[in-house]
Structure 1
Amino acid sequence: MASSNTQAYLTKLKTLSDQLVELQRPIRILDAIKWPIEAQERFFAAGGKRLPDIGRDFYERHPLTFDRHKLTEAFRELDREVVRQLGQQDALGRILRDTIDQYRLVLEMLGARGTARFGELSRRLYGSPSDCITGDNKTLLDVGQELCRVFSLPAAAQLAPSSKRQLDATEATAYLSARMDEYFGAGTVNVTLSDDIVSDAAAGGDSLKLNRRSLFTPQDLNVLEVHEGWVHIGTTLNGRAQPWATWLSVGSPRITAIQEGMAVLMETLTFSSFPKRAQRVSDRVVAVDMAERGADFVELFRFFRDRGDSEQDSYRVAQRVFRGGTVTGGSVFTKDISYVKGFVENVGFIRSAIFAGQPEMIPLLYLGKLTLDDIPALQEHLQLGHIVPPRFLPPMFKNLNGLYVWFGFSSSIAGLDNVRVRKHFSRLFGDKKPSSASRAPKQS
């Protein structure tokens, strides 16, 4: 039974956590910077030659749904309250304060929509392609460019999807509802159609929304099941199950890289992804870098279109980068670097946990919305019974044997001289070109 001091501490922690959850509730970053579908229609009607008419005036005509100044002051007061009640040095209190500070920066960023300041604050929150990978001197852009090269090799084009049948959003909703029921339990996750989202799908809380206008392949749905369902919704529900640390159910930008990186890793571990999907994820790092360096919306759109992407896909990647910023370039939304950044950092964490003899740290990635730096403090409180283990875990995180072996082998061969290995096998392959009959896998 917990001592009176421990119970008092946990009660304070929950009260402060609940206040943070409540304060952040009206903040919806993507909703605050989204573009209307009419912007796309006007852009294509002009032949893709004119910059979208979305600047500071547009965002002023679409004000935030809350008073950001009052909310900022409320976060300041909560920060002071965390220090008063938990002290400056409390480990969980520091995580709370870091999260509070993030939301204050978010509010400042949203107040600067359509200006140069927006991009500066986005870089503070999400980072930049010029940042070095944690523990390495390679930049994120270096990694992104290499991945783009790999996923655009001729072999990738030969790996045509096993099925090109397009499913409409209603069919996709029925399929994903059944898959969510199987994983989470009947009725736990609500899959619905939406007219309000720009992307194909979006997860929020215990719901998954599909864009009513989108078409999907079976491969797309496999990705959505594990990316949005197992990771984003799963960690939300695990966070909601926390008895005291309730803030683990909500995510400020500090947790975005780990979330998106784990989602991409899960696509890979389940073999749900495919080269074109992986290329799109890698392209986002290059796109953010180009826009940060001054490329405008039309230039970025043309770069991807001229490379061979569809006009729709080219517009979409450019829109993701420029939303909230300035369409003339320089000030952009850098969140899209998080997918590659988080993937690399999660892989590094899992490998390090294995070699440190602490594989039990790995499932803690699913405790809720967290960063890698949070894990030691959370593990300590897990051992004390203040944090509960994650309920929803993908199978390879429940039984770590396969994951251990996979990362063990991949770590061991990582030091090989890949250039020499490729040269050896290139002699075996010779100059043979793939025949038309072998360019796509046979359909079963």
Structure 2
Amino acid sequence: MPSNPTAYQQNLKTLSDRLVAIQQPIRILDAIKWPPHWREEFFAKGEKTPPPADKAYYQSIPLDFDLNTVKGELKSLLADIKKTLGKKDALGLILQDTTQQYLQVMDLIKDRGTTGFIDHSRALYGSAHDHLIGDRRSLKEVGEHLCGIFHLPAAKHISFAQPKLYDAPKSVEILQSKLDTYFTRHNVQVKLSDGIVSDAAAGGDSIKLNSRSSFSDRDLRVLEVHEGWVHVGTTLNGRAQPYATWLGVGSPRIAAHQEGLAVLMETLTFASFPARARRISDRVTAIHMAEEGADFLDVYRHFVNVGLSKNDSYAVAQRVFRGGRVDGGSAFTKDLSYVRGFVENLNFIHSAISAGRPELIPMLFVGKLNLHDIPALYGAYLDGTIEAPMYVPDMFSDLNGLYVWFGFANGMHLIDMKRVQNHFIDLFKDIPKVCPTTMSLNGGSRYRMVSACFVG
């Protein structure tokens, strides 16, 4: 903390630290998680009986806090923020909104396994019927469009099999080495875990890898930029703030920014691949189905029928129905954050460049935030209340390449792509259809063409 903080800065830190302490034991995903053995039982029973995720099950999950006590602390903090900082202070309004979000989280957790759960989820994470910032399209429409793109024959044609070369312990070693070169001022740990359902999960200054999983080179690159550069990086940047310490913790209001920025980083570093992108768009479809009344089995069977593996179909349905009701009528809408956040972060960058305000773009990494917070945070950066982010990927710290990339991308809107595509489709028509080829170094100096067929 700087040596001579103003009274305002001291008050901001005191209130912010209180919020950080109150929210510390709250873990939404832990409160709605399903045990791994449910998957095995589901398939053993012939995929005809949904997992036993009812209200009684969720109430049996122990919490590390008392709902009513935490709710009282949050209400007291909210009153103190308004009294101390005023009802219209820019940073105070962000702190108020974040505190209000945690009050809604208390209701979400209380109503696990009931039809009321989805109402709180929509309030926190939105609905598939929501529209994107400044656009008339709904998330459902964007998700359907992306599904169409990632289901095109070309997506399957280029999906070379990526062998899972590394078991979990070896993957920990490789990913640790990658992150050590990026996080030069902090000790970020990569650990094995038996307690997570997904392949990996980011904590404050650590990444957990599922001890039962194996990983490819591409998987580890995705984890490096998604979990490492974005999720861990923004946490450490937020924790380094001298006064606005809430920027080191994540309430639901920051989910779209975080997940969207992480997907954007996968895209800009060419780490992602069509099957992964398809999973993100499929989640929008699954949430829309659940909002329209589909149950767990409806969603599971839909994705099996459109070509997903049974394991992947179960995973999509599990993500949507955890916390809600597997017999329909209630769902968890958090996974809208990936598509919403990707588009809105992209539009923010486009708009900052077009408006002549590219200096705002690195603020995306200053901590756990909502895009609408950036004007206030940038103003506070100029007066010394907010510190510049410590960890920023190269393409966002030197904006020259990013500016050119977005400039060319924006210029492409002037071109009649349908006419261009028709020209090249005609040019391609006599080329034999074979397995796609990729290029690899032969002997370290010469490229050779390597054929690789998709293994379905």
Per the alignment, residue 10 of structure 2 pairs with 11
Q: Cα 1:35–1:440, aligned 2, differ >3 Å: closer, same or farther?
A: farther
Whether contact under 8 Å (1:162, 1:441) holds in the other structure is: no
Per the alignment, residue 361 of structure 1 pairs with 360
Secondary structure of the equivalent of 1:116? Answer: coil
Structure 1 residue 3: Cα displacement = 12
Whether contact under 8 Å (1:258, 1:371) holds in the other structure is: yes
1:441 and 2:399 equivalent? Answer: no
Task: Trace 1:66-105 onto structure 2 (pairs within 5 A).
Answer: 66-105=65-104
Q: Cα 1:306–1:375, aligned 2, differ >3 Å: closer, same or farther?
A: same
Unaligned runs of 5+ in 1: none
Per the alignment, residue 256 of structure 2 pairs with 257
Code of the residue aligned with 2:409 in structure 1: it is S
Per the alignment, residue 229 of structure 2 pairs with 230
Per the alignment, residue 63 of structure 2 pairs with 64
Structure 1 residue 431: Cα displacement = 6.7
Structure 1 residue 27: Cα displacement = 0.4
Per the alignment, residue 413 of structure 1 pairs with 412
Moved more, 185-194 or 404-413: 185-194
Per the alignment, residue 197 of structure 2 pairs with 198
Per the alignment, residue 45 of structure 1 pairs with 44
Moved more, 148-157 or 420-429: 420-429
Per the alignment, residue 348 of structure 1 pairs with 347
Mapped partners of 1:415, 1:26: distance in 2: 51
Structure 1 residue 53: Cα displacement = 1.1
Structure 1 residue 244: Cα displacement = 0.5
Per the alignment, residue 215 of structure 2 pairs with 216
Code of the residue aligned with 1:441 in structure 2: it is T
* TM-score when normalising by structure 2: 0.94
* TM-score when normalising by structure 1: 0.96
Whether contact under 8 Å (1:239, 1:368) holds in the other structure is: yes
Q: Cα 1:246–1:50, aligned 2, differ >3 Å: closer, same or farther?
A: same
Q: Cα 1:394–1:323, aligned 2, differ >3 Å: closer, same or farther?
A: same
Structure 1 residue 264: Cα displacement = 0.2
Structure 1 residue 247: Cα displacement = 0.4
Structure 1 residue 215: Cα displacement = 1.5
Mapped partners of 1:84, 1:21: distance in 2: 19
Mapped partners of 1:269, 1:30: distance in 2: 28
Structure 1 residue 443: Cα displacement = 5.0
The C-alpha deviation readout for 1:367-410, integer Å capped at 9, x for no partner, is 00011110111111100011110010001011000000011111
1:30 and 2:29 equivalent? Answer: yes
Mapped partners of 1:308, 1:140: distance in 2: 22
Whether contact under 8 Å (2:200, 2:207) holds in the other structure is: yes
Structure 1 residue 35: Cα displacement = 0.1
Task: Trace 1:98-177 onto structure 2 (pairs within 5 A).
Answer: 98-161=97-160, 163-177=162-176
The C-alpha deviation readout for 1:344-380, integer Å capped at 9, x for no partner, is 0001000000010010000000000011110111111
Code of the residue aligned with 1:159 in structure 2: it is I
The C-alpha deviation readout for 1:68-105, integer Å capped at 9, x for no partner, is 11101100000000011111111100000000000000
Mapped partners of 2:329, 2:262: distance in 1: 28
Count of aligned positions = 440
Moved more, 300-309 or 267-276: 300-309
1:291 and 2:287 equivalent? Answer: no
The C-alpha deviation readout for 1:168-194, integer Å capped at 9, x for no partner, is 111111111111111002761011000
Mapped partners of 1:57, 1:129: distance in 2: 28
Structure 1 residue 116: Cα displacement = 0.8
Whether contact under 8 Å (1:158, 1:440) holds in the other structure is: no
Higher helix share: 1
Mapped partners of 1:431, 1:144: distance in 2: 34
Code of the residue aligned with 1:181 in structure 2: it is D
Code of the residue aligned with 2:438 in structure 1: it is P
Code of the residue aligned with 2:179 in structure 1: it is M
Structure 1 residue 426: Cα displacement = 2.1
Code of the residue aligned with 2:276 in structure 1: it is R
Mapped partners of 1:418, 1:330: distance in 2: 42
Structure 1 residue 149: Cα displacement = 0.9
Structure 1 residue 128: Cα displacement = 1.0
Per the alignment, residue 267 of structure 1 pairs with 266
Mapped partners of 1:316, 1:162: distance in 2: 21
Code of the residue aligned with 2:17 in structure 1: it is D
Moved more, 240-249 or 56-65: 56-65
Code of the residue aligned with 2:86 in structure 1: it is G
Whether contact under 8 Å (2:164, 2:214) holds in the other structure is: no
Structure 1 residue 440: Cα displacement = 4.2
Mapped partners of 1:23, 1:138: distance in 2: 37
Mapped partners of 2:430, 2:305: distance in 1: 28
Whether contact under 8 Å (2:9, 2:385) holds in the other structure is: yes
List structure 1 runs of 4+ shifted beyond 4 angstroms: none
